[in-house]
Structure formats: C-alpha cells, structure tokens
Amino acid sequence: MKPNRFKATSVYQIEKRFTALRTLVAAFIALVMCFILIAINSDSIGKDLTTFITAPVSTFNRFCTFLIKLSPLLFSSCAVCLLLSSGSYNFATEGAFFIGAVASSAVGIQTGIPHGLQFILMFGAGVIAGALVLMIPPFLDARFGANVVVSSLMLNYICSNLGYYMIRGPLRDPSASHEATYIIQTRLPYFINNNSSRVHSGLLIGLAVVLIFYFVMKKTTFGYQIRTVGQNPNFARFSGIDVIKTIICTALVSGLVAGLGGAVEISGYYTRLKWSSSPGYGWDGIMIATIAGNNPLFAILGSAFLAYLRTSADILNIKSVIPVEIVDIAQSVVIVMIAAKGILKKTENQAIVRFSKSKMSRKGEQA
C-alpha cells in the first residue's frame, strides 16, 4: 500500500486539522457575512463587492494604507496572544495601548530634546505606561482576589477617560482647530516613501516584535512556563512554577508590547494625538489572537486578514454609503465561529473513531 501523505498519523493531528478547517470555515463565513451586509445596503452590488474584494491591492497607495492599518494590529494581537496563552482573561490591552500612546505623546510634544534621545524617551514612556496598566488586573487578583475580567474591563473605561482628559487638558494645543495635542516633534522614519504613498517603519518593528515573541513562546523556559500555566495551572503549580508570578510577568511583557504599539502608532502615523474614542486595537487583538490560536506567527496572518477587511470597508465607505461597522459585525461572527468547538464536532469525532479503530485493527494484525 502506498503511504498517503494526507492520512493522519495521530489523534492530535486530526484535532489540529479540524481546528484549521474551522478557522477557514469561519473566515469564509465572515466574508460571506460582509457580502450580505454590503448587498443589503448597496445600489450597485457588483461594483461594491468588487471594490470590497480588490480595493486594498488595486493601487499602490491603497496597499500602503493597508500596511499602515496592519502595523498597530501586530502589536495588540501579539500582546493578547501572550495574555491568553497564560490563561488570564485580562482585557486591558485596549487601555494599555491608549495610555501607551498618550504617555509617549506627552514626551513627544516636548521641544528642544535631541531626536535620538526623544525617541528613546517616547518609547520608554509608552512601554512603561502600557506595562503598568496591564499589570493592574492580575495584581489586584493576586492581592485582593478581584475578578480579572471585570476589573480589566473597568480599567479600559478609566484609561480611555484618562486619555481624553490628557488630550483635552494638559496636552492640548489651543491653536489646533480641533481637540488634539501639540505636534509630535520626533517621527519614525518612513520605509516606503514615494510621492504621496508613505508607510512608517512601525510595521517592521511590529514584525520584529511578533517574531521575537514567537521565539520566546516556543523556545524559551519563560514561554514554556506561560503555556503550562495557561493550559493547566494546577500542573504548573505542582511542577514548581510560580503561577501568580508567571501571570503578572506575562501581563508585564504584553503591556510592554501594547505600550510600544501605542508609541509606534503615535510617532509613526500621527502628527498629533487626537483620539476622541478608544481606538479599538485591543479588541481587534482579541479577535486576531483567537483566530491565530494564540500563536504570534499566525497572528501576522490574522492581522493581515483584519487589516485587509478594514481597508476595504474604509474605501467602500468613502465611495458609497456602506458603514464601516460591517467589519466589526463580521469580526464578532468570526470569533464565535472559531471558538465554537461544537461545529464539525461530530465529523471530527467520527474521524477520530475511524482512525483509532484502524489503528487497533493494525495492532491486532501485528500481534
């Protein structure tokens, strides 16, 4: 008998394949959802759908928009991957990203600091602020037993209000036409810069961060500790891992990443910080990390998928009347579909049973 390359060799492999299949099905359903939502709203369905599918790659300029949208998602999804790997439902990434951006723009608007030094200070401020924010919920949990989910969600509201206060209060430039901070003095260099199409090098930093954390998660003791704690805290405790310390350290590290994301976004894309609502990257991060199964490497693909949808929806919103919210709707559908272990469960179980039976009968023949 010829060995079949597609034949599964273990139950684990079957499970893995079905997870991948579910992810693809979910992504497909998300696209179909977008199509339906566009079709309901559209006067010229064919044209709008074509725009939606091809817009980000139709011109170089739009492709650059796609890359710019991709950059913050890399940071936030990487941060969430780490947090969720440690099994801690700490959703304060949104707040950490916002506060990171605010802290780094507070440094960035100061005049008279040499550019190199200001860069370091900006990034330092963003990173520290982000880490401080994300460490609060697990700390409160460890110290007082406060529920991480609720406290982190509450923390997001506190962070965004603090952010608005800083933007409209101490950091506000009164000469600006709208509510925004003073101009950021130091900017990240562009890595694509021809005519009107510019992409800041935050994307490269983001890719580097994701790759580093992929390595950390897979190849280092710290990464192994995080995954052990996430999968089975009791086992981790019995094997001598300090669970609380690991969770707080993970929050610290992912706070660094989220804060860095905020700092990069401020020094790369914006001339002034002017967010009037929380940017939502933290929530996007949760969605991407779910798609990616908390694997930072797959998070690149997930971020690209979401950034592509976002760019399409933005362009569509300018060209016709379709609201950008369709992406968020599709996004929530994707999260639920991927997380729904029950979908295709029957087929998966049948495959596992078939596999186990054939394995047992083969063993019988050998004996």
Partner 1 sequence: MNFFDTIFSANFLGSVLRMATPIIFVTMAACIGVKANVLCVAYESMMLFAALAGALGSAYCHSWVGGGLIGILASIILALIFAYFVLYLDTDPMLTGIALNTFGSSGTVYLMFLLTGSRSTTARLSSVVFPNLNPGFLASIPVLSVLFEQNLLTYLSIFSAIALYVFLFKTALGLRIRSVGEQPLAAVSVGINVKQTKLEAILISGLFAGLGGVFMSMSYMPYFTRDMISGRGFMALAAASLANGHPMVGLVFSLVFGAASAFGNVLQTLRLPEQFASMVPYLVTIVGLCFMKRRTKK
Residues that bind partner 1 (CB under 8 A): 37, 40-41, 89, 91, 140, 143-147, 149-151, 153-155, 157-158, 161-162, 164-165, 168-169, 283, 286-287, 290, 323, 325-329, 331-333, 335-336, 339-343, 345
Least separation in angstroms between residue 305's CB and partner 1 is 16
Q: How far is the CB of 164 from partner 1 (least distance, A)?
A: 5
Instruction: Please say which residue, 132 or 153, places its beta carbon nearer to partner 1.
Output: 153
8 Å CB contact between 130 and 100: yes
CA–CA separation, 205 and 188 (whole Å): 11
Nearest to partner 1 of 232, 358 (CB atom): 232
Amino acid (1-letter code) at residue 336: V
Single-letter code of the amino acid located at 90? N
Question: Closer to partner 1 at the Cβ: 122 or 291?
Answer: 291
Q: Which of 180, 149, 178, 143 is closest to 163 using CA atoms?
A: 180
DSSP for 183-232, please give it.
Answer: PPS--PPEEEEETTEEEETHHHHHHHHHHHHHHHHHHSHHHHHHHHHHH-
Q: Closer to partner 1 at the Cβ: 168 or 187?
A: 168
Report the nearest approach of partner 1 to the CB of residue 2 (Å). 37
The dihedrals phi and psi of 200, each to the nearest 5 degrees, come to -80, 160
CB of 128 or CB of 333, closer to partner 1: 333
Instruction: Tell me the sheet residues that pair with 193.
Output: 198
Nearer CB in complex with partner 1: 72/202: 72
What whole-number distance in Å separates Cα of residue 180 and Cα of residue 269? Answer: 14
The three-class DSSP label of residue 13 is: helix
Q: Helix or strand or coil: residue 193?
A: strand
For the chain, the distance separating the N- and C-terminal CA atoms, rounded to the nearest angstrom, is 20
Least spacing, CB of residue 337 vs partner 1, in Å: 9
| Nearest distance, CB of residue 333 and partner 1, angstroms | 7
Least Å distance, CB 278 to partner 1, is: 10
